[in-house]
C-alpha cells in the first residue's frame, strides 16, 4: 500500500475526459512536494508525462495536463485516444520516509 493513493482503474470512451487522482498526506504532497506523472504503455518502460505538477516535457501531447492542490494532485486526459491505454503513476517526495514515493498506479482503459 503506497503513501500515494490512486484509483486502480479509470475508463472512458474515445474523446472523453478522464481524471486520475493522486492523494497524499502532510508528509509529501501536503508538505509542498512536487508531483510528477509517468505513463507506462503495455510492455514498455515508464516515461515521464508531467513534471513539477503541471509541466509537460517536449513531445507530450497537450491533452495531458496536471494540477496540484492541498494533499492531492490530478492528471487529466482530455480527448482520450486509444493509444492512451496504459498505466499511469504519480510520484513525489516524502519527508517522513526521506525518499521518493510512487502511487500504486491507475490503469486507463479506452472503451
Question: Which residues here bind other proteins, judged by CB under 8 A?
Answer: 2, 33-34, 36, 38, 45-48, 51-52, 57, 87, 89, 91-93, 97-105
CB of 15 to other proteins, least distance (A): 28
Q: For residues 3 and 79, which CB has a smaller minimum distance to other proteins in the complex? A: 3
Burial 74-93 (b: 16+ CB within 10 A, else e): bbebeebeeebebbbbbbbb
- Report in angstroms the alpha-carbon separations of 12 from 32, 91, 97: 31, 24, 35
Q: For residues 16 and 26, which CB has a smaller minimum distance to other proteins in the complex? A: 26
Q: For residues 65 and 79, which CB has a smaller minimum distance to other proteins in the complex? A: 65
Amino acid at each position: 500500500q503506497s503513501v500515494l493513493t490512486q484509483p486502480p482503474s479509470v475508463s472512458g470512451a474515445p474523446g472523453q475526459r478522464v481524471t486520475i487522482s493522486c492523494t497524499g498526506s502532510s508528509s509529501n504532497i501536503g508538505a509542498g512536494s512536487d508531483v510528477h506523472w509517468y505513463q507506462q504503455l503495455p510492455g514498455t518502460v515508464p516515461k515521464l508525462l508531467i513534471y513539477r505538477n503541471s509541466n509537460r516535457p517536449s513531445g507530450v501531447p497537450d491533452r495531458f495536463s496536471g494540477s496540484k492542490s492541498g494533499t492531492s494532485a490530478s492528471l487529466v486526459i482530455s480527448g482520450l485516444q486509444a493509444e492512451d491505454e496504459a498505466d499511469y503513476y504519480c510520484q513525489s517526495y516524502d519527508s517522513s520516509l526521506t525518499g521518493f514515493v510512487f502511487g500504486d498506479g491507475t490503469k486507463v482503459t479506452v472503451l
